[in-house]
Amino acid sequence: MVNGLYTASRGMTNILAKQDIHAQNLANTSTNGFKMARLVNKTEVSIGRNDDGELRQKEMQNLSEVYTSFTQGPMVRTGNNYDLALSSTGFFSVEAADGGTRYTRNGGMSLNSYGELVTLSGKRVLDESGQPIVLKGDSVQFLQDGGIYMDGRKTATMGIVDFPDTKKLQYGQDGLFGNSDPKENPPMAPKTVGLMQGFLEGSNADPVSTMVNMITDYRNYEADQKALKAVDDTLHQAVTEVGRV
């Protein structure tokens, strides 16, 4: 009976965590290059007999991991020369606030006062050597292979990388991905770059399906809540009524 209380309460806790993920996805449905997250639960059920030979079942529910879906988002034509998108796998390399390297699919870019290519949040975009990209000229062209030409002359190559295991990429509060295991999961050149100028990749989070998932989980939370109350009421009767007899 107590196991029923535990199962229902853990189910409610997991649903609350899932609602946080849904809220994050919903808030970023219009964020360029955003990749939606999914919460993976792990359930273990063990059945055995105690010392008295009575059959007992134990269920363990744990939050296993937050999984990021890197499916391609919709391509939106903007016509802006500094709006970039990747039609294949891979990430743009940018300089983080701590001086390290972070990664993003958001290709909305511009030039700062020093002529450096930066993200819309002001972070410097890096080339294939990990150095800031400085662009000075009148006409810029980004080729599909990542090459950058200013006034018809090649100036730099975008630092576009991919990873053997994207599950090891962690989404940070700055909106960028960090590599949690650079030794075992080093950045490498993608098989196909597929850089597109004048386009932006939209979010792969669908607001309609996200709202449906939120409503479904809310109903499941209510069901667990009712189950928890039913078990609690039964325990209360067992203690107060049966005890009198």
pLDDT by residue for the chain (245 residues), tens digit each? 566 666 777 778 888 888 889 999 999 999 999 999 988 776 666 676 666 666 666 666 666 677 899 999 999 999 999 999 999 999 999 999 888 999 999 999 999 999 999 999 999 999 999 999 999 999 999 999 999 999 999 999 999 999 999 989 998 888 899 999 999 999 999 988 999 999 999 999 999 999 998 999 889 888 888 887 887 777 777 767 765 55
Phi/psi of residue 199, nearest 5 degrees = -130, 155
- Give the list of residues 6+ apart from residue 12 with CB closer than 8 angstroms, or none: 221, 224, 225, 228
pLDDT of residue 58: 63
Cα–Cα distance between 229 and 240 in angstroms, integer? 16
Torsion-angle region of 169 (φ positive above 0: left; ψ -120 to 50: alpha; else: beta): beta
38 three-class SS:
strand
pLDDT of residue 179: 94
pLDDT of residue 8: 75
pLDDT of residue 39: 81
pLDDT of residue 55: 63
Prediction pTM value: 0.79
pLDDT of residue 60: 61
pLDDT of residue 42: 66
Nearest to 81 by CA among 122, 141, 32, 124: 141
Length of the chain equals 245
